[in-house]
């Protein structure tokens, strides 16, 4: 008999913005949240899939429209919003569109992320700038633009709000040729853990979720020496942890950096929803 988890709240009717929702981990989070009755705003750049006949078709395919279709097929509600998180105007429009459609935002999932693979001496400045813009600046601006609405809604109730990002083990350990990527994820971690304190008084949880090694485009496309010993997870394996985190508030669980593989062991409990 699973132990009842008093920190689990119903997510039905809540509104979530998920960046990087077109494929991989983000698509799984969109579908997982939707399965709990969350209205999901699927945000990323891809509206047309051009991955057919490319070497990574299976992993690189997916559009925001496809994810929305899958949400609707399983009986859920959402919208697909084209958004490049390296562009401040796009993020501002994403939040405005969410508020226009649903009138509120309760959950933010900063999942969009890109690699930056190069030894430092060969690093292209444009690649570094793009990585920092997507992996650090974008998540911060999403919070900046969405927080006023989150704070204005009734976050003093027990349900509160929840924000989490997807970090990487690279933030805390050496990965060959990944100085740029590693530093972007380390900055993301510090940003979210500091933000957790800043918004605690508004009952908004802010947490950092490390997914482990996941079978997606990012993992298949690049070579990640030194990670072969980490078990490869399927993207859907993140769903229970994401659902649980989405249901947290600052009163129940905030300011934590947690591993998806430890969910139900050292943190959270298996959702019984
Ligand atoms: N896979 C792993 O083993 C692993 C391990 C640790 C951490 N992570 C992290 O997990 C997150 C998801 O990665 P994934 O493995 O699912 O990789 P993925 O399949 O490559 O997905 C990345 C997602 O980010 C979106 N994205 C990229 N650039 C964007 C931009 N400028 N604006 C908006 N969206 C953008 C992509 O959508 P569009 O191309 O449609 O924009 C896509 O939906 C990333 O933050 C990654 O760093 C992954």
CATH number of the domain that 240 lies in?
3.40.50.720
Q: Is 181 a catalytic site residue? A: yes
Ligand 1 neighbourhood includes 112 CB (under 6 angstroms): yes
Evaluate: CB of 113 within 6 angstroms of ligand 1. yes
1 domain residue, yes or no: no
| Helix, strand, coil share of the chain (percent; to 5) | 45, 15, 40
pLDDT score for 154: 62
Write down the pLDDT at residue 181: 97
Does residue 236 come out as left (phi exceeding 0), alpha (psi in the -120 to 50 range) or beta? alpha
| For ligand 1, atom 25: residue with the closest CA | 20
Residue 100 counted as domain residue: yes
Which residue range is the domain that position 98 belongs to? Answer: 15-262
Does 270 fall in a domain? no
Number of structural domains the chain divides into: 1
Examine residue 105 and state whether it is found in any structural domain, yes or no: yes
Per-residue pLDDT tens digits for 163-190: 999 999 999 999 999 999 999 999 999 9
86 is catalytic: no
Closest CA to 111 of 193, 177, 41: 41
For position 158, what pLDDT does the model report?
Answer: 61
| Residue 7 in tokens | 């920190």
CA–CA gap between residue 40 and residue 30 (Å, rounded): 6
d(C-alpha 31, C-alpha 139), whole Å: 21
Tokens of 266: 């050292």
pLDDT attached to residue 157:
60
The reply to whether 4 falls in a domain is no
User: Does residue 118 fall inside a structural domain?
Assistant: yes
Determine whether the shortest distance from the Cβ of 86 to ligand 1 is under 6 A.
yes
pLDDT value at residue 4: 46
Instruction: Provide the pLDDT for residue 12.
Output: 96
Q: How far is the CA of 20 from the centre of ligand 1 (A)?
A: 6
Q: What is the distance between the alpha carbons of residues 230 and 260, in angstroms, rounded to a whole number?
A: 13
pLDDT attached to residue 8: 60
Catalytic site residue 3? Answer: no
Instruction: Indicate whether 269 belongs to any domain.
Output: no
Judge if the beta carbon of residue 166 lies within 6 A of ligand 1.
yes
Positions of the chain with pLDDT under 70: 1-8, 154-158, 270-273
pLDDT confidence of residue 222: 74
Residue that the structure tokens 């933010």 belong to: 108
Residue 267 located in a structural domain: no
Q: H helices within 159-254, ranges in order?
A: 179-198, 217-221, 239-246
d(CA 210, CA 172): 11
């Amino acid at each position: 008999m699973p132990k009842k988890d008093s920190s689990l709240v119903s997510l039905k009717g809540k509104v979530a913005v998920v960046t990087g929702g077109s494929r991989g981990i983000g698509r799984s989070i969109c579908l997982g949240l939707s399965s709990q009755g969350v209205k999901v705003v699927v945000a990323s750049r891809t509206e047309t899939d051009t991955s057919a006949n490319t070497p990574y078709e299976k992993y690189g395919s997916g559009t925001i429209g496809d994810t929305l279709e899958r949400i609707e097929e399983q009986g859920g509600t959402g919208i697909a919003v084209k958004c490049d998180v390296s562009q401040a105007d796009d993020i501002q429009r994403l939040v405005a569109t969410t508020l226009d459609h649903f009138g509120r935002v309760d959950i933010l999932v900063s999942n969009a992320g890109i690699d930056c693979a190069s030894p430092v001496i060969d690093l292209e400045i444009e690649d570094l700038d793009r990585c920092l813009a997507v992996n650090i600046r974008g998540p911060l601006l999403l919070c900046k633009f969405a927080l006023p609405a989150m704070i204005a809604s009734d976050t003093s109730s027990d349900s509160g709000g929840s924000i989490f990002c997807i970090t990487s083990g690279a933030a805390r350990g050496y990965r060959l040729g990944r100085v740029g990527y590693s530093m972007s994820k380390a900055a993301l971690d510090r940003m979210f853990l500091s933000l957790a304190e800043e918004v605690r008084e508004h009952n908004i949880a802010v947490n950092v979720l490390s997914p482990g090694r996941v079978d997606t485009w990012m993992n298949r496309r690049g070579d990640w020496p030194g990670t072969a010993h980490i078990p490869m997870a399927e993207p859907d394996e993140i769903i229970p942890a994401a659902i649980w985190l989405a249901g947290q508030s600052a009163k129940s669980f905030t300011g934590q950096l947690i591993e998806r593989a430890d969910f139900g062991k050292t943190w959270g409990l298996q959702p019984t929803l």
